[in-house]
Structures are given as structure tokens and as C-alpha cells.
Structure 1
Amino acid sequence: MAGAFALIMAGFGSAVVGGHVDDSTLSAGDYQTISETYTGDDINSVDVSRDFDRKLDEQGKIQADQMLIALEERDDLIKKTSAEAKKNQWVLPVTGYHLSARFGQRSGLWSRMHTGLDFAGPSGSAISSVASGTVKSTGYEGAYGNRTVITLLDGTDIWYCHQSRIAVSVGEKVGPGQVIGYTGSTGNVTGPHLHLEVHPGGGGPVDPYAVLVQHGIRP
């Protein structure tokens, strides 16, 4: 048995040795065949860099288009925001003035307390709307003289009194700083001035000075 096993093992060893391939036996042709399997017949047949550059160019165009769209949207937003801000903007009604009477003062000049803020200045000075709104009424109103009432976007009525001339019509839309008339001495006055009144919701008068300050205007 031992002798037979030895013969079998000897035969197996010879078969392994006979079937072993040594690295040193690979020829240059063998390496060439393996190389072609991975790279193709011509290693320069595919220009990888050119394809990559083309994709970069396409991506660059897409990004440029997206940037233009973003800039247009930004400009539209700025315009819209600017328009909204202008709608809510307040300005002084006149220039070149001095305050001659304030809200709440009492004097023989008025039947009751003074209900507005007086801007005294040269007759014929331009009067501007303090904010955006719609002309509610115009005309002569006794002691108030020539008066224009403008209803603002929030429903507040602004009275512009003692005008020498009215420059707007009922129903007209006006913006902040738009000329609506000119100072004068019509009605119960001691000299040319603008008598300004503020009536929230069309109700009773409140202090115009406080309202102007609240909207960033300090007379």
C-alpha cells in the first residue's frame, strides 16, 4: 500500500510541474495581446480630453443661461420692491416754510382748538401729496378756503386747505411728491399757508406732526 501511494504522489507531482507556467516564459507578443484587449487596436483612437472639453462648454452655456435668468428675476424683484416702497413713501407737502400753528393749540383765530398743522410760506408755493392716494374731493369749504381731500391707500384722509389754486380733479390717482395745488390765503387766514389735516379712516383729526414723524418725515 505504501509503495502504491508513493507512486501515485510521484505521478501527481510530475503532472503539476509539467503544467506550471513560469512568468519568464511570456513573450513580448503575449503582452501585446493583453494590452490590446484593454486599450483596443489603437491607444489614441479615443480623444477623451476633447469629449470632456465639449461637456464643459455645454455646462458653461447652461450656467450662463441660468445666471441671466437669475439676474432678470433679481432686477424684477428690485423694481417690484422699489414700486411697493414708493407707494408707501411719505414726503413733506411743501418746501421753504416755517410752522406757524400746531395741532391742539387754542386761540381766538379758531372756533375750537386748532385741528391741523400750518406750513406758512410764500403764496403760490407748490403743494405736494404727502403719499399715494386718490382725490376724494376738491372745492371751496368756507373757513378752510380751497380744499383738496386725498384718501390714502390705508383709508386715511389728508386735507390740504387755503389753496390759491387746486391742480387735481376728483378720482385722480396721485403719488408722493406730486403737485396737487398751490398755497394761498383763501378762507379764514391771517396770511398765506398750507393748513394740513390728517383724518384716519375718514374720521376725526389727529396730530399731523406725529403722523409725519411716524412715516419718517420730521417737519
Structure 2
Amino acid sequence: MAGAFALILAAFGSAVVGNATDANSLKADRYQTVNQTYTRADEPSADVSRSFDRAAFSKQATAQAQQKIAANEQLTAAVGKEAKKIELNKWVLPVTGYHLTARFGQRSGLWSTVHTGLDFAGPSGSTIVSVAAGTVVSTGYEGAYGNRTIIQLNDGTEIWYCHQSQFGVKVGEQVTPGQPIGFTGSTGNVTGPHLHLEVHPAGGAPVDPYGELIKHDVTP
């Protein structure tokens, strides 16, 4: 880079000398091309040396490399935060190895009212996991629901996990999607082991769990 600069400056000086007779040209005797310096009566002397160019180039290259590293670190941090946010807000299936039986809104002599949840039938003792991140707000026996765990999500939605054979979390515990919270069973009003799942937006009336799972990219 320094060599190229010297050639350009030398060429510039030659052009000045060659056009010294032109009234509008720069005065050749005011410029020196051998040692790459220039002087003018109204300006202080300035020296452009090869060593200066190398030092400046090295300093600039280092600064640019540091900027790139800093930018990459910021990008990595941003991606990490977004990935963590996605992880905490995703939904998952509450059990595996199941088949769906009773659905939301069905009527039967087995229930005093219409069915208010979605039933995942499977072997007793199957692991139940939290479908989303939240806080355990209730664990205990609740009549026809049997052993029930209620987890409140960050938006206030309550998820009910009913008919458990055993609890796996305590009130006040923070849970993440996929974290074990209990085991399926036949407690309460049942005809066989299954998980009865209910979804209560803002802690209010239940809505169809199937639709809520689909809304969160989970297909039962």
C-alpha cells in the first residue's frame, strides 16, 4: 500500500514539473518528490513516510477486526436471547404413548356436565410434563378431577392436569416446557387411567385444549 502511494505521489510530482509553464499549474519548485514531502509558504511541513503508512494501516486493521468481533458477539447474544425466548414460550405435548378418547364439549352420562377437557389415555404411571412454562399454583385432590396440578402460565392461562397417580412438583415451583410434573393414574371420576387436560385462559372458563395446542404448533 505504501509503495503504491509513493508511485502515485511521484507521478503527481512529474506532472507538476511537466506543466510548470502553465500559469494555472502548481509551482514545481514548491514540491519535492524524492523524499515524498511537500511544503507551502502558508502551511506547515508535513511528512508522509512509509513507516507511518504501515503503522496507520496496522492500527486501522486492528480496529476493524475488533469491531467485527464485537458485532459478532452482539449478534450471538441477540440470537441467544431470542432462542431462549422461543424456548420459554413454546408448548409441548403433556404425555407420549397415548390415544385421545373424550374430547372437549362431548356429552355423556359419565359427566355431570359437558366434557371440559381433552383426555389422553395410556398406561398408568406415564410421565406427565408441563405443556408450557409457568408456575405451579395448586396441587391436591379435587373430587371428580382426582389428583390435580394447576400451572399458571406467564399470560395468566391455567393448565389443569387431572387424575394423576402421583404429584411431581410443589406449589410455587417454576417449570419449563417438557419438565416432568407428575404421573398418569385413575384418581377421581374415571373409567381407566388417563390424563384429563384443561385450559383456562386468564383462569376463567375452560376452552378446547385441542385448539389451544394447535394454536401453539402442537398437534395431539
| Common topology (TM > 0.5) | yes
Q: Percent identity?
A: 60
The correspondence for 2:32, drawn from 39, 51, 58, is 39
Task: Give secondary structure in 1 for the equivalent of 2:67.
Answer: helix
Give 1:66 shift: 0.6
Comparing both structures, which one devotes a greater share of its residues to helix? 1
Which deviates further from its counterpart, 49-58 or 96-105? 49-58
| Inter-partner Cα distance in structure 2 for 1:104 and 1:168 | 29
1:153 partnered with 2:160? no
Alignment of 1:202-217 (within 5 A): 202-217=203-218
**Counterpart of 2:10?**
none
Alignment of 1:1-219 (within 5 A): 38-39=31-32, 43=35, 48-219=49-220
Task: Give secondary structure in 2 for the equivalent of 1:150.
Answer: strand
Give 1:35 shift: 7.9
- Aligned 8 A contact 2:36 2:49 in 1: no
Task: Give secondary structure in 2 for the equivalent of 1:83.
Answer: helix
| Inter-partner Cα distance in structure 2 for 1:39 and 1:63 | 34
Task: Give secondary structure in 2 for the equivalent of 1:127.
Answer: strand
Task: Give secondary structure in 1 for the equivalent of 2:101.
Answer: strand
| Inter-partner Cα distance in structure 1 for 2:56 and 2:181 | 62
Query: Partner amino acid for 2:146?
Result: G
| Inter-partner Cα distance in structure 1 for 2:186 and 2:172 | 25
Query: Partner amino acid for 2:189?
Result: N
- Aligned 8 A contact 2:140 2:148 in 1: yes
Unaligned runs of 5+ in 1: 1-33
Query: Partner amino acid for 1:123?
Result: S
Q: Residue deviations 1:65-124, cap 9 Å, x none?
A: 111111111111011111111121110101111001100111111111110000001111
RMSD of Structure 2 on Structure 1 (CA): 1.8
Unaligned runs of 5+ in 2: 1-26, 38-46
Structure-1-length-normalised TM-score: 0.80
